[in-house]
Amino acid sequence: MAFTKKNEEAVSPVIGVILMVAITVILAAVIAAFVFGMAGNVSKTKIVAVTAGRDNANSGNVIVTNHGGQDAARITTVTITQGGVSAGSLSSAVGSTLTFAAGTNAHIVAVGTFTDATQQVLLDTYV
**What is the Cα–Cα distance from 58 to 75, expressed in whole angstroms?**
29
pLDDT of residue 70: 92
CB 106 within 8 A of CB 118: no
pLDDT at 10: 60
Say what the pLDDT of residue 22 is: 95
- Res 107: pLDDT: 94
- Residue 84, sorted as left (phi over 0), alpha (psi -120 to 50) or beta, turns out to be left
Q: How far apart are CA 70 and CA 9, in angstroms?
A: 69
Local mean pLDDT, 10-residue blocks, the chain (127 residues) = 63 83 94 76 83 85 92 92 90 90 91 92 94
* Dist. CA 97–CA 50, nearest whole Å: 10
Domain formed by 49-126, architecture: Sandwich (2.60)
Q: Characterize the bridge pairing of strands 85-90 and 75-82.
A: antiparallel
Distance of alpha carbon 55 from alpha carbon 72, whole angstroms = 24
The answer to whether 110 and 49 are in contact (CB under 8 A) is no
pTM: 0.66
